[in-house]
Amino acid sequence: MVDARDLKSLGALPCAGSIPALGTFFFNELEIAHVCDQALGFFAFITTLRGVYQMDLLKGIKSRRSVRVFHKKVPSKKVIQECLESATWAPNPTNQQPWEFIVVTGERLKGISEIIVETFPQRMREMDPYHGIPKACEERKNETFEQLFTAAKRAGIDSKNLFQKNLTFYGAPVAIFFITYKAAHTLYRHSTVAALQNFLLAAHAKGLGTCWLSSVAACQDEIKAFLELSGEKEIVDGVALGYPVKDSPFNTIARKRVPVKEVIRWMGF
Ligand SMILES: Cc1cc2nc3c(=O)[nH]c(=O)nc-3n(C[C@H](O)[C@H](O)[C@H](O)COP(=O)(O)O)c2cc1C
């Protein structure tokens, strides 16, 4: 949920002095000017604004997008913790809550980026993740790359640097690592991914931008050593986090989804 306080911290709310002017605009729009008339004044305005900006869950799901250009400002520990608290409400096997989160910024994040830059290219060659993928997926993957390269061009970024940016969390001021226990089954991984998705949505609701990064899991052993994680743990994936540069061509790439009817098979209806 985005509330007025979050917007204020983002600089989206005007200072108190200019609130009446903005208030008139909103109140006209929303036909609630009588609230002011009834002398609820400032308090009513904030309450209304909270309502206006409250993010509907379904709208939030649809409007979340991967963010690849970030402002330098480091989000507060408070707001990050609130998003991670949402992560912990994900479904998980017998409520074992088999996850932990590591939040990294500054020099430590630089250190991890260096590890990824060093390790990932070789890992990528070994994994060969696009080999033999289904034709339909191949086409969508190619389209996505094309969009990213076009955005890079529009943003004046050499497409060769795009890969490097990917490996360095796209310059985000924070990275979050989603950790679980190693297990013979995949249930812990599934639930940690569910927690990760909750986190992405909560971050979006609070005006933050995120990008899920596959390079992190691929450099598992090296990052685990850096984070001093014990052998019983596994890094499920990592997420870049920060305030999005909203009008960057990278953050406004048109996103599409296959019409849902094409991916549903109804049975017994
Ligand atoms: C498992 C996984 C790994 C991903 N890895 C990367 C990545 O390494 N770099 C990147 O830019 N985006 C990565 N993404 C983000 C996807 O590219 C993105 O979700 C997809 O293009 C759809 O765009 P959207 O998130 O804006 O809807 C990853 C997403 C997932 C789920």
Q: State whether 45 and 80 are in the same domain.
A: no
Residue of 61, 143, 213, 255 to test ligand 1 pocket, by largest number of atoms within 8 Å of CB: 213
Residue 36, pLDDT score: 46
Does residue 40 sit in the same domain as residue 81? no
What does the pLDDT look like over 178-191, one tens digit per residue? Answer: 999 999 999 999 99
Residues with CB under 6 A from ligand 1: 65-66, 68, 144, 166, 211-215, 255
Cα of 214 from ligand 1 centre, angstroms: 8
Q: Do residues 176 and 103 lie in contact, with contact meaning Cβ atoms separated by under 8 Å?
A: yes
Atom of ligand 1 nearest to the CA of 257: 27
Residues of the chain with confidence (pLDDT) below 50: 1-30, 36
Residue with the nearest Cα to atom 27 of ligand 1?
A: 65
Residue nearest to atom 3 of ligand 1 (CA): 214
Taking the C-alpha atoms of residue 223 and residue 141, their distance in angstroms, rounded to an integer, is 27
**Mean pLDDT for all residues in the chain:** 86
Backbone angles phi, psi at 210, to 5 degrees: -140, 155
Same domain, 137 and 190: yes
Domain co-membership, 38 together with 78: no
Q: Does residue 202 sit in the same domain as residue 143?
A: yes
Statement to judge: residues 24 and 48 lie in one domain: yes
Query: Has residue 127 been placed in a domain?
Result: yes
Task: Look up the domain containing 181 and give its range.
Answer: 64-261
Our count of domains for the chain comes to 2
Q: Are residues 196 and 243 in the same domain?
A: yes
pLDDT of residue 7: 37
pLDDT single digits (tens) 211-256: 999 999 999 999 999 999 999 999 999 999 999 999 999 999 999 9
C-alpha 128 to ligand 1 mean position (Å): 17
Is there a single domain that holds both residue 116 and residue 14? no
Are residues 83 and 166 located together in one domain of the fold?
yes
Nearest CA to ligand 1 atom 29: 212
User: Radius of gyration of the chain from Cα atoms?
Assistant: 21
Contacts (Cβ under 8 Å, ≥6 apart) of 16: 42
Phi, psi of 90 (to 5 degrees): -70, 150
Q: What is the pLDDT of residue 156?
A: 85
Residue whose CA is closest, atom 30 of ligand 1?
212
The protein residue whose alpha carbon is closest to atom 10 in ligand 1 is 213
Query: 114 lies in a domain?
Result: yes
Query: Which pLDDT value is given to residue 2?
Result: 42
pLDDT at res. 47:
53
Same domain, 36 and 158: no
Structural domain contains residue 59: no
188 and 112 housed in the same domain: yes
Alpha carbon nearest to ligand 1 atom 15, residue: 212
Question: 110 and 229, same structural domain?
Answer: yes
- The pLDDT score that the predictor gives to residue 84 is 98
Distance 217 CA to ligand 1 centre (A): 13
